[in-house]
């Protein structure tokens, strides 16, 4: 073979390996001293990945376990692939775990397609192995070609930024070291290292939508740009960065809008629409609904503006009451525990912070003026018998400065406290008397005075 050609091929392989190494390092894919479960089908991509990781295992300080699934779909060909994977692992001294599963039967039982069921079987198997090996990392051989196909499939479905960002190089415990390489580059790697591999005849079956994109759409796009797979993969990466940034902004906006178990609509409406929609997605997911469509999110956004109530998937409903968005019915929690200084952690995760404040601090800090009627009371009324608790049937309250005593439920209703907030509102009680009620403030006997230094105590709950 021509010496210049060999040198060019060697340079190409070194560049391919360097790009994969850079992705691994930049994404911090492999913790030192850990175990990597490698999904190996026997095809070119996964065989190259197993070879690549085996060559780097000592350098990066991890151990390997190969994982192969025989889906029971291809008869003797599937058995041949299994035997090939076992042979590679034996030659390279890599432990190999094999799962046999009748995916055709399981897909009928689960009422889903063969592709989806096969994916479910593989990842369930990989994750079980990872758990058995100390929460090991799972490496799969997805490539830039897979990425381009995935993005195009999502584009056909009308996906947003998250869908068009395609496959993530790192998602939870799953890593994809070859996501920066095309299938053509993987085959060049296999040829250079004389790696044989199996051909899956189902990859030519045009009944599968991915195969139609791979064999019919991508070739046309390559006439416009020979490096279209790399271009689409790069665009997906940049979209993922943008989407991650918007989600971080959405998380921050939710924290700012939080009010008890819900979120203030006025605060959310101040956010740009891309941030607001992501905030609504996160809020719904927090309440158990993570499969919202674009239409669901648009309906939630309309709910913020118009109020009312809508039903989402899985029976979850969203409602706006008195300017606050919440999901589902409020979960009633009943508790009573001693008040602790300076912080009492409540059973539902909320925190109650208490401390003395001086007259000077009260006078100079405007936020205390704003919170006075709801968050201050006389420190002298607190003793070791003071407890923090939720509402009970029959509770009565005598608010400061009103000269009346009424059922607590009625007073909350008159104060326009939303029903979902009333259920888990917090009270301070001393020897049977309610000293302070969330949303209503101090009682007559615990009302703050102004004649003594450090006579006040401020109570902060959920950042209020």
Residue 370 pLDDT > 70: no
Q: Confidence band (pLDDT; 50, 70, 90) for 57?
A: very high
Residue 369 pLDDT > 60: no
Residue 393 pLDDT > 70: yes
Give the pLDDT confidence score for residue 425 in this predicted structure.
85
> What is the arithmetic mean of pLDDT over 397-409?
90
Q: Confidence band (pLDDT; 50, 70, 90) for 7?
A: confident
Q: What is the mean pLDDT of the chain?
A: 87
User: Following DSSP, what letter does each residue of 216-253 receive, concatenated?
Assistant: IIHHHHHHH-TTHHHHHHHHHHHHHHHHHHHHHHHHHH
Q: Across-strand partners of 37? A: 65, 138
Would the CATH topology of 12-232 be identical to that of 260-327?
no
> What is the arithmetic mean of pLDDT over 448-462?
57
The dotted CATH code for 12-232 is 3.40.50.620
Q: Structure pTM?
A: 0.71
3-state class of 424 per DSSP? coil
Q: How many CB atoms lie within 10 A of CB 18?
A: 10
> What is the arithmetic mean of pLDDT over 279-297?
83
> What phi, psi does 216 have (nearest 5°)?
-115, -35
Give the pLDDT confidence score for residue 463 in this predicted structure.
41
Task: Write out pLDDT tens, residues 66-84.
Answer: 999 998 888 888 899 999 9
Q: Across-strand partners of 263? A: 258, 325
The dotted CATH code for 260-327 is 1.20.59.20
> What is the arithmetic mean of pLDDT over 350-366?
71
Give the pLDDT confidence score for residue 333 in this predicted structure.
77
3-state class of 78 per DSSP? helix
b/e code 172-192 from CB counts within 10 Å (16+ = b):
eebbbbbbbbbbebbebbbeb
> Which of 138-147, 398-407, 413-422 is the most confident on average?
138-147
> Which of 52-56, 103-107, 323-327, 440-444 is the most confident on average?
52-56
Least confident of 210-214, 360-364, 445-449: 360-364
Domain boundaries, given as residue ranges, for the chain: 12-232, 260-327, 336-461
């Amino acid at each position: 073979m021509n010496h210049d050609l060999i040198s060019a091929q060697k340079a190409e392989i070194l560049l391919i390996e360097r790009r994969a190494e850079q992705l691994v390092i930049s994404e911090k894919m492999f913790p030192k001293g850990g175990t990597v479960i490698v999904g190996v089908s026997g095809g070119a991509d996964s065989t190259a990945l197993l070879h690549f990781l085996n060559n780097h295992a000592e350098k990066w300080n991890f151990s390997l376990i190969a994982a192969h699934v025989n889906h029971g779909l291809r008869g003797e060909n599937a058995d041949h692939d299994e035997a090939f994977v076992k042979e590679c692992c034996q030659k390279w001294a890599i432990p190999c775990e094999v799962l046999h599963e009748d995916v055709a039967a399981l897909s009928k039982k689960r009422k889903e397609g063969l592709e989806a069921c096969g994916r479910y079987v593989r990842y369930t198997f990989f994750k079980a192995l990872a758990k058995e090996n100390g929460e090991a990392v799972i490496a799969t051989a997805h490539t830039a070609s897979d990425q381009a196909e995935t993005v195009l499939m999502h584009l056909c479905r009308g996906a947003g930024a998250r869908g068009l960002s395609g496959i993530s190089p790192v998602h939870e415990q799953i890593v994809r070291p070859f996501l920066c390489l095309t299938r053509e580059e993987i085959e060049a790697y296999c040829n250079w290292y004389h790696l044989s591999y199996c051909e899956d005849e189902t990859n030519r079956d045009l009944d599968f939508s991915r195969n139609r994109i791979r064999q019919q759409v991508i070739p046309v796009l390559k006439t416009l740009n020979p490096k279209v797979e790399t271009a689409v993969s790069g665009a997906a990466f940049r979209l993922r960065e943008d989407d991650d940034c918007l989600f971080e902004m959405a998380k921050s906006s939710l924290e700012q809008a939080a009010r008890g178990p819900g979120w203030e609509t006025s605060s959310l409406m101040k956010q740009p629409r891309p941030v607001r929609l992501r905030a609504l997605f996160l809020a719904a997911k927090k309440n158990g609904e993570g499969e919202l469509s674009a239409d669901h999110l648009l309906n939630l956004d309309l709910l913020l503006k118009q109020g009312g109530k809508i039903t989402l998937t899985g029976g979850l409903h969203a409602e706006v009451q008195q300017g606050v968005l919440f999901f589902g019915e409020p979960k009633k929690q009943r508790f009573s525990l001693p008040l602790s200084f300076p912080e009492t952690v409540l059973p539902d995760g909320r925190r109650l912070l208490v401390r003395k404040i001086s007259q000077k601090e009260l006078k100079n800090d405007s936020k205390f003026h704003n919170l006075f009627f709801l968050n201050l009371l006389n420190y002298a009324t607190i003793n070791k018998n003071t407890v923090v608790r939720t509402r009970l049937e029959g509770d009565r309250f005598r608010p400061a400065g009103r000269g009346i005593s009424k059922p607590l439920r009625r007073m909350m209703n008159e104060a326009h406290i939303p029903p979902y907030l009333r259920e888990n509102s917090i009270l301070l009680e001393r020897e049977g008397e309610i000293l302070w009620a969330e949303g209503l403030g101090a009682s007559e006997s615990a009302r703050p005075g102004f004649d003594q230094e450090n006579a006040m105590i401020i109570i902060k709950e959920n950042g209020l």
